[in-house]
């Protein structure tokens, strides 16, 4: 199912192709719901959206990437997935929420991100590495700059 109008882009597929790309997109809301597929690439580049929601269930993805995105809210929900890379670079977001449940992820990377709120929730997941490079977080503690934190191994 694919729906598009001036303010909303909505994509919902089951057992679909190996590449999914939105470039460029100028929508208020982008919703991508993918279930039981073997996608290799999901990319939004460049995108100017108020809200981006990506829900992936029972997948074997290689790359999920948001590059040069200007969005207020980004929500990525991964459930029972085997992802290799999840990346956001460079990005300008108010809220970023990444929810991982029963997943086997290789790398989660945020590079040159400008986020007010960053939330990563992991439940019964295997995360090999979490990388945060040159992120500016304007959080509730008033910390304006975190600097180069490098690659943080997570056990």
Q: Is the pLDDT of residue 66 over 60?
A: yes
> For residue 2, what pLDDT is reported?
44
What percentage of the chain exceeds 70 in pLDDT? 47
Of 98, 81, 89, the closest CA to residue 35 belongs to 81
Q: Is the pLDDT of residue 111 over 60?
A: yes
CA 19 to chain CA centroid, nearest Å: 16
* Whole-angstrom distance, CA of residue 154 vs CA of residue 59: 22
Of 77, 36, 34, 18, the closest CA to residue 53 belongs to 77
> For residue 151, what pLDDT is reported?
42
Predicted confidence (pLDDT) per residue in 12-42, tens digit: 444 444 556 666 666 777 777 777 776 666 7
Average pLDDT, the chain: 65
* Whole-angstrom distance, CA of residue 115 vs CA of residue 126: 25
Residue 18 burial by Cβ neighbours in a 10 Å radius (0-12, 13-18, 19+)? exposed
Domain boundaries, the chain: 2-153
CA 17 to chain CA centroid, nearest Å: 19
> For residue 147, what pLDDT is reported?
43
Task: For residue 4, name the pLDDT band (cuts at 50, 70, 90).
Answer: very low
Q: Which two tokens stand for residue 92?
A: 């300008």
Predicted confidence (pLDDT) per residue in 130-143, tens digit: 666 555 555 444 44
Is 148 within 8 Å of 134 (Cβ atoms)? yes
Task: For residue 155, name the pLDDT band (cuts at 50, 70, 90).
Answer: very low
Of 122, 1, 104, the closest CA to residue 59 belongs to 104
């Amino acid at each position: 199912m694919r729906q598009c109008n001036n303010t909303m882009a909505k994509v919902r597929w089951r057992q679909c192709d190996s590449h999914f790309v939105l470039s460029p997109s100028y929508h208020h809301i982008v919703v991508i719901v993918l279930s039981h597929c073997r996608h290799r690439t999901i990319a939004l580049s460049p995108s100017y959206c108020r809200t981006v929601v990506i829900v992936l269930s029972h997948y074997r993805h290689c790359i999920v990437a948001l590059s040069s995105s200007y969005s207020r809210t980004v929500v990525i929900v991964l459930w029972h997935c085997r992802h290799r890379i999840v990346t956001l670079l460079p990005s300008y977001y108010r809220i970023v929420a990444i929810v991982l449940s029963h997943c086997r992820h290789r790398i989660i990377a945020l590079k040159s991100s400008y986020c007010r709120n960053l939330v990563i929730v992991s439940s019964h997941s295997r995360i090999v590495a979490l990388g945060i490079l040159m992120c500016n977080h304007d959080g509730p503690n008033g910390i304006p700059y975190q600097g180069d934190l490098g690659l943080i191994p997570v056990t």
